[in-house]
């Protein structure tokens, strides 16, 4: 996987998180790390930062002093009482007197497991340090939060994400066109891990990576196709809009619930009065609810297009 192949190996390799990196480097210099919470959206480098910290702290053999657990899989109280406690109670042999336990997706741990973890963090603080990684730090109980130094990760700026994708494309000798790069950035939404995976998937097709290739491999419709369908409906041509919808569903292999989110996004880009964007968002929300309840996809999406035709007629009348 390219996400692992191109993962930074040292704190010096991490970009655009200067404040966080500087704090972590000070821990390495002092050879002392507090309990930490790394919080932020997915794909922003939380787990990578924890591993880079361990590698800089312990050197090449850092794996001997680090345990990684994915708390979404192993999130019960027994894991804390057995696996975590067994690792935490044994002393590290070497220049650094403690080991590091990385709990990924710690916000998925049960409340009982977090309570047990709180006590373990207290008792074995001399021999182990805990790095809790969470997308939503609010799901971590207050007693644990108060024992940890917080680190807030944010999405990489657009220019750094572009540089990252282009660097991988150059190393892998890929041809990526500008519209393909824009499509990757649009779909990934700031998640650099997802952007890397999309690039690798698109590269497997063996063609120059353009907008069409990217949308076809990720199972999403091209926004231009969605926009064209919406405009056709607003212009009053229901039959043609329905034909475009069917063609899109067949072309990209989408389900109704997949495309409704894209319709919602594209609605706000339409050149219609704001009050109509509000009304259309309400209509789309109703259709989305009906689809989630198991209603017939074709009937509901056709009804949505019919509502758009009616809305287009009222907009033209100036209502």
Q: What is the pLDDT of residues 154-199, one digit of tens each?
A: 888 888 889 999 999 999 998 999 999 999 998 888 888 899 999 9
pTM exceeds 0.85, yes or no? no
| Predicted pLDDT at 88 | 83
Query: Mean pLDDT over residues 41-53, rounded?
Result: 91
Q: Which CATH architecture best describes the domain 158-218?
A: Orthogonal Bundle (1.10)
Residue 39, pLDDT above cutoff 90? yes
Q: Kindly state which CATH superfamily the domain 2-152 is placed in.
A: P-loop containing nucleotide triphosphate hydrolases (3.40.50.300)
Query: Above 90 in pLDDT, residue 217?
Result: no
CA–CA separation, 44 and 267 (whole Å): 28
Residue 174, number of CB atoms within 10 A of its CB: 17
For position 289, what pLDDT does the model report? 93
CATH topology of domain 223-316: Zinc Finger, Delta Prime; domain 3 (1.20.272)
The pLDDT value recorded for residue 38 is: 94
Residue 43: the pLDDT is: 87
Question: Which of the pair, 29 or 84, is modelled with greater confidence?
Answer: 29
State the pLDDT confidence band at 75, using cuts at 50, 70 and 90: low
Scanning the structure block, which residue is given the tokens 């989408």?
Answer: 254
User: Domain residue spans in the chain?
Assistant: 2-152, 158-218, 223-316
- Does the pLDDT of residue 5 top 90, yes or no? no
Instruction: Give the pLDDT score at 7.
Output: 83
Residue 111's pLDDT is 84
Structure confidence by residue, pLDDT tens digits, 92-137: 877 888 999 999 888 888 888 888 888 888 888 889 999 999 998 8
Q: What average pLDDT score do residues 258-273 get? A: 87
> pLDDT tier at 73 (50, 70, 90 boundaries)?
low
């Amino acid at each position: 996987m390219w996400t692992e192949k191109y993962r930074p190996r040292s704190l010096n390799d991490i970009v655009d998180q200067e404040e966080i990196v500087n704090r972590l480097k000070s821990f390495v210099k002092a050879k002392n790390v507090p309990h930490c919470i790394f919080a932020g959206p997915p794909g922003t480098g939380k787990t990578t930062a924890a591993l880079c910290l361990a590698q800089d702290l312990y050197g090449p053999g850092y794996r001997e002093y680090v345990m990684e657990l994915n708390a979404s899989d192993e999130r019960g109280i027994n894991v804390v009482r057995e696996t975590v406690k067994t690792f935490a109670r044994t002393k590290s042999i070497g220049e650094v007197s403690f080991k590091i336990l990385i709990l990924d997706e710690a916000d998925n741990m049960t409340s009982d497991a977090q309570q047990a973890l709180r006590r373990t963090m207290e008792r074995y603080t001399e021999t182990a340090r805990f790095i809790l990684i969470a997308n939503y730090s609010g799901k971590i109980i207050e007693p644990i939060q108060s024992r940890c130094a917080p680190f807030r990760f944010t999405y990489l700026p657009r220019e750094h994400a572009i540089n990252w994708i282009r660097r991988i494309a150059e190393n892998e000798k890929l041809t990526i066109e500008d519209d393909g790069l824009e499509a990757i950035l649009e779909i990934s939404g700031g998640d650099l891990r997802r952007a890397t995976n999309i690039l690798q998937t698109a590269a497997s097709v063996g063609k120059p990576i353009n907008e069409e290739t990217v949308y076809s491999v990720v199972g999403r419709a091209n926004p231009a196709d969605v926009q064209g369908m919406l405009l056709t409906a607003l212009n009053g041509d229901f039959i043609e809009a329905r034909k475009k919808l069917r063609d899109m569903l067949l072309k990209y292999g989408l389900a109704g619930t997949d495309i409704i989110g894209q319709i919602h996004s594209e609605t706000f880009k339409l050149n219609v009065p704001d009050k109509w964007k509000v009304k259309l968002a309400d209509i789309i929300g109703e259709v989305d609810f009906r689809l989630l309840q198991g209603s017939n996809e074709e009937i509901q999406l056709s009804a949505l297009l019919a509502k758009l035709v009616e809305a287009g007629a009222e907009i033209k009348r100036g209502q």
